[in-house]
A = this chain, B = another copy of it.
Amino acid sequence: MGVVIGVDIGGTKIAAALVDESGRILSSVRLQTRTELGREFVFEQLKGAIGELMEGAKSFGEEVLAVGMGSPGVIDPASGVVIKAAVNLPQWQGISLKQLVEEHFGVKAFVDNDVNVMALGECMFGVAAGLQNIIFIAIGTGIGGGIVIGGKLYHGSRFTAGEVGHITVIPDGPKCPCGNYGCLEALASGPVIARRAEEYMAKGVKTSLRTIAGDGRVTCELVAKVASDGDVLCRRLFEEAGRYIGIAISSLMNAINPDCVVIGGGVAQAGELILSPIRDEVALRALSPVPILQSRFGDSAGQIGAAALAWFYLKAVA
């Protein structure tokens, strides 16, 4: 039947996997990117990861039919060019990742924005399988989105559709690095949750986070851990973030009326801590609420999504 390789190109790591037609991972590789060694070095790392899985495919007796890639930034999927690279991945600016891989390996390659491919992955193999219109929201260091309409990725007029992290939630709210005020990303990302925890601790609010964090850094992951042990402050921080996310999702549901909304990214790993307040807010605000589901793939969403992209195009041609 053949397999594909899905590559999740991140700011600090490259994660790639050999994925079959049902979205199952047969094998995977993960490596830290050495961006400080320059563009050519990172290209070699990318080629190395793909090459390793190509060798691996042979041991399964499988042919690699295509390579799919997900990368941060604004990407033109037709040319595969990174039109606007992410701040932490300047080396890809103006590069066609598609051409790079096709020329080196002689296989078809496809590339799209990292959150877009996660949306497609959930729609093809995950919790949204079989649905036509979905919104995927990745909540992590930042907040991004991907939109599938009619079973296909929707890119908008300049490939920037899905910037749900920059929906205005509080018009006079905190300044966002994008220049706007009160963006969802400035109110509910992982680092914001961690920073709010530190602010409350500095004010002397009672929380077991203080003891558990010790002298170490407070992360959103740690806040989630302490919250799941019942700490009131930490639970409230997720409720607050969930409320903001729920406001943005309600507006999106009213405007787009999708079949469902899928929540992924690091913060989504907190599960019901964040999903429950999101659902409560949406129940209050949306005209016709639709299901809000947790991403099936967690950490692997990027690789499986990139593989989904490859399968999508292979099937579109067939």
Contacts and interface: CB of A to CB of B under 8 A. Distances in A.
Contacts of A156: 133, 256-258
Interface stretch (A14-22, A157-165, A192-200, A220-228): A157-165
Nearest to A159: B257
Interface residues on A, range: 35 or more
Interface centre among A161, A166, A178, A257 (most CB of B within 10 A): A257
Contacts of A256: 147, 156, 161, 255-256
A157 to B, nearest CB: 4
Interface stretch (A209-217, A230-238, A283-291, A295-303): A283-291
Contacts of A251: 166-168, 248, 251
* Main secondary structure on A side of the interface with B: loop
Interface centre among A160, A171, A181, A255 (most CB of B within 10 A): A255
B162 A255 contact: yes
A258 B155 CA distance: 9
A129 interface: no
Given A157-B258, A167-B254, 19 more contacts: A145-B255, A147-B256, A157-B259, A157-B290, A158-B257, A158-B288, A161-B256, A162-B255, A163-B255, A164-B254, A166-B254, A168-B247, A178-B287, A180-B250, A180-B284, A181-B285, A248-B251, A255-B255, A256-B256
